[in-house]
Structure 1
Amino acid sequence: MKKGIFIAAVLGAAVLLGGCSGQKSGVTASASSDTAATTAKETGSGANTFTVGFDQDFPPMGFVGDNGEYTGFDLELAQEVANRLGRKFVPQPIAWDAKDMELEAGNIDCIWNGFTITGREDGYTWTKPYMENSQVFVVGKDSNIKTLADLSGKIVEVQADSSAEKALQADGKLAGTFGTLQTTPDYNTAFMDLEMGAVDAIAMDVIVAGYQIEQRKADFLILDEALAAEEYGVGFKKGNDTLRDQVQEQLDAMAADGTLKNISEKWFGKDVTTVK
């Protein structure tokens, strides 16, 4: 399935044909050059690389491991897709609130890091959802906050430009009851703020919340009432159907041969993927 090689072969043939066309060779070479530029633009930042934008402070989806290397569930999926496409995998950490700028500039081929489709349907070209998620609130285990109503007058923290922030903006009635709704660059900072008592609750992805709580071995809990249900997908620059289709084809193949299931069980102890 190494489509980058296939495309290169087609373009090479076009150049050879141009060289055999006599006086029209200049026109043909120009057309071939334009085709190559268009193909590179459509398929990604480089024909031989697959550059994935991610938040390096978002375990277990993407983060810096104990060995100093980038790791995570989403990054492992992306690495496998890159291998199957015959491309070099390049994990590119980005500031989450600058992700659109990075994508538009062509610095990354896609955003793949617990990236919520819900509410962003028209902003990107998406793969099919590969995982379900929900936005929840995390509080201290000894907190008197048991329901969403108990958040009234409290300090709630959320990552800037996250799905949780967008969900709270959409549900202005709930957010309006908070004493303060403040943002933070990453959820590692948010958990430290909660542990120190600087905030009363964190609004975030349930998948990430569960992982953080387990890893920190701290006395946090997730409220039973969820803020919103959503789905994760891989987001590409609007109109980049070519690369999206290549990635989707590999995700489908990974679901069929059990690779998705195996990677999911490695990170979560069960299969949480939804690609069938």
Structure 2
Amino acid sequence: MSCATVLRGRFMIDEVNVMPDHHCTRRDWLFHLLAGLGALAAPTWGHAQNAEALKIGFLNHYPPFSFKDKDGVHKGFDLEVMARLCQIMGVAFVPEADGMASLRQKIQSGQISWIGHQLLVTPENRREFDVVRPSYASIQLVCIQQEDDDRDFLSLDDLVGKKLGVLANTGVEEQSRQAIGKAVVAYPRIEDALADLARKKLDAVLEESLIADYFIERDRLPLRVAAPFAAPISAGLAVRKGNRELQGRLSAAIQAMLKDGSFRKISEKWFGYDVSRPRVSHQQNN
């Protein structure tokens, strides 16, 4: 996968970069705050009688956005959002999980209608896809610290001489190593970095705010989301280049979902707040 194809949250501090498919595990995870969203919480996925069926691509393991639970059931925040969009569009929702490289090929060949995760609006992605707006979730790289740590880490310069945890094989790791060298500790799973931070083996972790919020809640970690390292980043759903009809239908459905309150309910179920509204952390705004 080329360097600018990244999904939400796996971006460089100054410019977008990407992680390999097997590191797209940034979300297997979410605390289940609200019980029961009716049809929204448990959508019927598959072909509906007499309805157009659309295949939507998802990453195999990208928690809490797309993942399999302990019973092997494919679920996630983005799956529920896409199920709702398909409901609004009056089509049957058929999820298809794969690696990112394969999803990119499948969207180009027409095997899937779109990728069910927001892509960053980079020049490379704009050359390859039409990006459907509006976006439905804010993406922001943040610093995570121990809850009793009142130090301000506002840039990599502030972390010189400090022990920093990052996700391995990402742009964040690359730039962090360039700035602070061997003090960077790279982890195959970001939840392990957060666990070490909670045990005070690290000074800070850099991660996307939604993922940090999820793991802090799920694992009841004594951590807080502190300063943002970048402004919220523009993102949207990707459809095949030139498919204006689908782009228009999907954009209208996103706007309807944001207006009718159904997105807010899904968002609160998974994250505890409305993630369409940019903020550093719901914990800091409650």
Note if 1:111 corresponds to 2:120: no
Show structure 1 runs of 5+ residues with no match.
1-46
Distance 1:246 1:54, change over 3 A: farther
Aligned twin of 1:69: 73
What are the residue-to-residue correspondences of 1:205-216 with 2, within 5 Å? 205-216=208-219
Q: Secondary structure at the match of 1:266?
A: helix
Provide Cα deviations, 1:100-132, integer angstroms capped at 9, x if missing partner: 344335443322235333564444211112222
Aligned twin of 1:230: 233
CA contact (8 A) 1:48 1:86 kept: no
Higher alpha-carbon Rg: 1
Which deviates the most, 97-106 or 236-245? 97-106
Q: Secondary structure at the match of 2:227?
A: coil
Which deviates the most, 247-256 or 87-96? 87-96
Q: 1:210, CA displacement in angstroms?
A: 0.8
Q: 1:160, CA displacement in angstroms?
A: 4.5
CA contact (8 A) 1:53 1:108 kept: no
CA contact (8 A) 1:139 1:222 kept: yes
Q: Secondary structure at the match of 2:143?
A: strand
CA contact (8 A) 2:55 2:111 kept: no
Distance 1:103 1:190, change over 3 A: farther
Supply the distance in 1 between the matched residues of 2:252 and 2:187 (Cα, whole angstroms).
Answer: 36
Aligned twin of 1:78: 82
One-letter amino acid of the counterpart of residue 244, structure 1: Q
One-letter amino acid of the counterpart of residue 143, structure 2: F
Supply the distance in 1 between the matched residues of 2:201 and 2:99 (Cα, whole angstroms).
Answer: 23
Q: Percent identity?
A: 24
Supply the distance in 2 between the matched residues of 1:160 and 1:133 (Cα, whole angstroms).
Answer: 19
CA contact (8 A) 2:173 2:186 kept: no
Q: Secondary structure at the match of 2:138?
A: strand
Q: Secondary structure at the match of 2:166?
A: strand
Note if 1:152 corresponds to 2:160: yes
CA contact (8 A) 2:195 2:221 kept: no
Distance 1:184 1:116, change over 3 A: farther
What are the residue-to-residue correspondences of 1:13-162 with 2, within 5 Å? 48-54=53-59, 56-59=61-64, 61-65=65-69, 67-96=71-100, 99-117=103-121, 120-128=125-133, 129-140=135-146, 146-147=152-153, 148=155, 149-153=157-161, 154-158=163-167, 160=169
Supply the distance in 2 between the matched residues of 1:48 and 1:145 (Cα, whole angstroms).
Answer: 52
Which deviates the most, 75-84 or 101-110? 101-110
Root mean square deviation of aligned Cα: 3.5
Aligned twin of 2:45: none
Q: 1:241, CA displacement in angstroms?
A: 2.5
What are the residue-to-residue correspondences of 1:193-212 with 2, within 5 Å? 201-212=204-215
Distance 1:122 1:191, change over 3 A: farther
Q: 1:267, CA displacement in angstroms?
A: 2.6
One-letter amino acid of the counterpart of residue 78, structure 1: M
One-letter amino acid of the counterpart of residue 239, structure 1: G
Distance 1:188 1:112, change over 3 A: farther
One-letter amino acid of the counterpart of residue 166, structure 2: E
Q: Secondary structure at the match of 2:257?
A: helix
| TM-score between both structures, scaled by the size of structure 1 | 0.63
Distance 1:221 1:254, change over 3 A: closer
One-letter amino acid of the counterpart of residue 219, structure 2: R
Aligned twin of 2:178: 176
Which deviates the most, 182-191 or 101-110? 182-191
Supply the distance in 2 between the matched residues of 1:91 and 1:247 (Cα, whole angstroms).
Answer: 16
CA contact (8 A) 1:56 1:70 kept: no
Note if 1:255 corresponds to 2:262: no
Supply the distance in 1 between the matched residues of 2:75 and 2:59 (Cα, whole angstroms).
Answer: 11
Supply the distance in 1 between the matched residues of 2:206 and 2:100 (Cα, whole angstroms).
Answer: 16
CA contact (8 A) 1:62 1:75 kept: yes
| TM-score between both structures, scaled by the size of structure 2 | 0.61
Supply the distance in 1 between the matched residues of 2:195 and 2:109 (Cα, whole angstroms).
Answer: 33
Q: 1:260, CA displacement in angstroms?
A: 2.1
Aligned twin of 2:48: none
Show structure 2 runs of 5+ residues with no match.
1-51, 278-286
Supply the distance in 2 between the matched residues of 1:92 and 1:49 (Cα, whole angstroms).
Answer: 10
Supply the distance in 2 between the matched residues of 1:176 and 1:158 (Cα, whole angstroms).
Answer: 15
Q: Secondary structure at the match of 1:260?
A: helix
Supply the distance in 1 between the matched residues of 2:88 and 2:246 (Cα, whole angstroms).
Answer: 13
Provide Cα deviations, 1:35-83, integer angstroms capped at 9, x if missing partner: xxxxxxxxxxxx6223232352321x33334553222222111011223
